[in-house]
Each structure stands twice: as C-alpha cells, then as structure tokens.
C-alpha cells in the first residue's frame, strides 16, 4: 500500500510540476495521515459495503452487514477526518504543538487496526471492541494539553464532545453484543454528535474562508442563532438516545434546527462563492445539512422515507462537507493556494450526485431501489478515488513553502 501511494505521489508531483518538493512527511501534522487514511477508507469501505449488500462477502463476526456499514462510515471514515482536522486546527488555535511523528503514527496505526481486526478470524470480540474504542480517548488525551493551555476557553468544548463520541462508540459495540438495551441506536447519537462538530466548525471557518477570498464580503452572524444551533443539536442528541422520543417531538426538533441553519447560512452566503469550487462545496455541503434536517423532520412525521432522510445527512452533509474541508485544509496547510484542479471540481460534483441519487432515487424509485444504491455507491467511490489521486502527493510530501507541518 505504501509503495502504491508513493508511486501516486511521484506521478501527481510530476503532473503538477511539484517535483522540487523532496522527501516524505506523512506524520508532520495530523491532517496528513488521517485525511489520506480517511479518503482511502471512504473508497474501500464503500467497495466492501457493495459486496456485502450483494451477498458476495460475509460480514465480520462482530457485525451484521448494515451495522458494519453504519459503524465504519461514522466511527471509521468520519472520525478519521475529525481527528485529522482537530490535530491540525488546535495547533493553529492555540499555538501549541499537537502530536506529530511517532505519536501521530501510533494514533494512525491504532485507527487502522480498529478497521482491520473485525475481519481477522478468531479475534475475540473484546479485543475488537477495546482497540476500536481506544482511539477517540487517545485523540482526546492528545488535545487536552494544548486546549487547556490555550487562551480561548471556547475551544475546550471539543473535549467533552470527543468524550461523548467515545462513549457512543462503546455503547454501540455493547448494543451489538446485546449487553446494553433500552437506549436509542448509538449510531444515530453519533451522527448527531458529528453534526454538532460540523456546525461548530462551520460557524468558525465558513465566514472566515468566505471573507478571505471574496473582497468586500462581510458575513452576518447572529448570536441568538449560534446559541439556538447548539441547544437544538444537544436536544437532538438526547432525543436520539431515548427511544420513546421518536415521532412528532423529534420531528419538530429537526424542523426547528433546519430553520435555524437556513438563517445561519443566509448570513454566510454571497453569489460569488460559486466561482470558487473549494468554497461552494463547503456551502453546498452545509446546505445538505439543512435539507437533511428537513427530510429527517418530515420522516419522523411519517411523510418521507427514513433511510433516504438519513443519507441526506450522511452521504450529503457529512460526505460533501468533509471532502470539501479536507480539500481546503490540506491545500492551506501544505503551503499551497486554495485553488483546486478541475479534477477535484469534478469530484465535488460527483459527490453531490452520489448523495442526490441515494436520497431521492431510493426514496421515489422503489422498483429500482438496488440500482440507485449501486449507482450512488459507485459515484461515491469515484469521488473519493479522485481525491486520493489528487491529494496523495500533497498529504505525503513536505510543505512546498518549507515551513513545518
């Protein structure tokens, strides 16, 4: 695998005229290993899911196919992206170095082992659980010092969020083992925690990114909307954890959240964003969050297919937004301009098509449901394969400006 990635890096370097960047720096900063591993996982996990979906492969002993798919897309792919982002952003926010080098390599190896162990015959379930559950607490531990020493106390909110995500992971495993019952699906709780992190990050970076590249643009941020966003998401996390809350109460929460986020997005919007692909993909990714919240609300009221509403939040909001964020962060933190290639612009379009087909093709095309699922999966695979092709070099090679990181 390493040889293949290095060959890809050399190829893309020659293609982009970046051959002057010498050496390797896969563990120089958190975004490097985790964005690359996350993107590779996005491809491979979807390939495996398609094979499971069609009965070509048997699910690992610890999971049924649907449980494996949901768990790995949330606790595998998405957690890798979150870890990479926080291990990079926290250094910027605090000026204090986060884990790099051997400690970062150890974290990456632990994450990878968590993906592989379920597929190794004879591995005890307790070891599968222990290795997978250990990752998020270690990420949390790695961030305690810089966040606690940093001057902005608001940033410390990520510590309880990571702890809650680690607990959701443990409880999801215990649910699979029939050790815990009486709670809502912890994968849905995890999804809402991920959306909470996306909302927090978007509120910070979307106005900043937009103002930085659009001369004269000034975003509008409404404190009451920011507070309402967090309150509604916390209530949704609680509601998902309590099975009895499903239905009208949760549906109304989702609709209220959708309205608040539409108001929030309006303050960030400027028509010129559509001239800059790495900017519009983030705005469209967040628009998927608004749409997913609307569809989740009406699904709770019995007016839309729940699985399709779910994928508006996962394939749409999480998939599109995280790809856009990885593309933007990787270029900025490798010393490059934020401009992306036409290939990456195509990847952004393909990812949105994958989400559209998964949400609306399957919701309204029940007679051809399997075909829509397959097409959506194929587009997802293509989108992330294009990302790996374009970003393997950027993530493995040192910064082009010679700075550390």
- pTM above threshold 0.75: yes
pLDDT of residue 130: 98
Q: What is the mean pLDDT of residues 41-52?
A: 98
The Cα 375–Cα 379 span in angstroms is 6
Radius of gyration (Cα) for the chain, nearest Å?
20
Is 90 exceeded by the pLDDT of residue 212? no
Q: Which stretch of 47-56, 98-107, 245-254 has the lowest confidence by average pLDDT?
A: 245-254
The answer as to whether 19 is a domain residue is no
The answer as to whether 196 is a domain residue is yes
pLDDT of residue 230: 96
The answer as to whether 74 is a domain residue is yes
**pLDDT band per the 50, 70, 90 thresholds, residue 365:** low
Q: What is the mean pLDDT of the chain?
A: 93
**pLDDT band per the 50, 70, 90 thresholds, residue 188:** very high
The answer as to whether 352 is a domain residue is yes
pLDDT of residue 75: 98
CATH number of domain containing 160: 1.20.210.10
**pLDDT band per the 50, 70, 90 thresholds, residue 127:** very high
Burial class (CB in 10 A: 0-12, 13-18, 19+), 376: buried
Q: What angle do CA 205, 309, 344 make, to 5 degrees?
A: 45
* Residue that the structure tokens 């539409």 belong to: 262
The answer as to whether 8 is a domain residue is no
**Domain containing residue 114:** 24-396
Q: Which residues contact 294 (CB under 8 A, 6 or more apart)?
A: 254, 255, 258
The answer as to whether 84 is a domain residue is yes
Q: What is the mean pLDDT of residues 17-41?
A: 87
Altogether, the residues listed in the chain come to a count of: 405
The answer as to whether 14 is a domain residue is no
Kindly state the tokens that stand for 371: 């075909």
Report whether 250 contacts 239 (CB < 8 A).
yes
pLDDT of residue 20: 53
Percentage above 70 pLDDT, the chain: 95
The number of folded domains in the chain is: 1
Is 50 exceeded by the pLDDT of residue 2? no
* Residue that the structure tokens 């597929």 belong to: 119
Q: What is the mean pLDDT of residues 225-253?
A: 92
The answer as to whether 309 is a domain residue is yes
pLDDT of residue 21: 64
Q: Which residues contact 8 (CB under 8 A, 6 or more apart)?
A: 388, 389, 392, 393
């Amino acid at each position: 695998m390493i040889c293949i990635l290095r060959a890809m890096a050399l190829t893309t370097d020659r293609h982009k005229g970046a051959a002057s960047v010498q050496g390797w720096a896969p563990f120089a900063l958190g975004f490097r290993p985790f964005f690359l591993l996350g993107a590779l996982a996005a491809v491979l996990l979807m390939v495996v899911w398609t094979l499971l979906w069609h009965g070509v492969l048997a699910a690992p002993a610890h999971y049924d196919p649907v449980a494996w798919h949901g768990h790995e897309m949330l606790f595998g792919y998405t957690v890798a992206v979150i870890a990479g982002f926080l291990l990079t952003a926290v250094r910027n926010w605090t000026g204090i170095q986060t884990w790099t080098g051997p400690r970062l390599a150890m974290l990456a190896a632990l994450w990878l082992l968590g993906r592989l162990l379920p597929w190794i015959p004879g591995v005890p379930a307790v070891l599968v659980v222990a290795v997978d559950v250990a990752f998020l607490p270690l990420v949390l531990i790695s961030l305690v010092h810089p966040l606690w020493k940093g001057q902005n106390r608001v940033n410390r909110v990520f510590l309880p969020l990571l702890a809650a995500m680690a607990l959701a992971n443990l409880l999801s495993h215990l649910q699979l083992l029939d050790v815990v019952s009486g709670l809502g699906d912890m994968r849905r709780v995890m999804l809402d925690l991920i959306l909470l992190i996306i909302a927090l990050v978007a509120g910070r970076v979307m106005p900043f990114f937009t103002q930085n590249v659009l001369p004269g643009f000034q975003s509008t941020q409404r404190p009451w909307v920011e507070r309402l966003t967090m309150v509604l998401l916390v209530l949704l996390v609680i509601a998902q954890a309590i099975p009895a809350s499903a239905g009208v109460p949760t549906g109304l929460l989702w609709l209220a959240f959708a309205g608040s986020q539409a108001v929030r997005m309006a303050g960030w919007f400027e028509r010129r964003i559509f001239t800059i692909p790495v900017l519009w993909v983030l705005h469209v990714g967040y628009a998927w969050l608004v749409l997913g919240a609307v569809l989740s609300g009406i699904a709770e009221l019995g007016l839309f297919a729940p699985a399709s509403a779910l994928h508006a939040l996962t394939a749409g909001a999480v998939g599109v937004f995280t790809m856009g964020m990885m593309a933007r962060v990787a270029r900025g933190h490798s010393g490059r301009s934020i401009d992306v290639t036409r290939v990456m612009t195509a990847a952004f379009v393909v990812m949105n098509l994958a989400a559209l087909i998964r949400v609306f093709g399957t919701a309204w095309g029940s007679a051809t449901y399997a075909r829509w699922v397959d097409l959506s999966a194929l587009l997802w695979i293509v989108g992330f394969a294009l990302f790996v092709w374009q970003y393997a070099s950027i993530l493995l090679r040192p910064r082009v400006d010679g700075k550390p990181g």
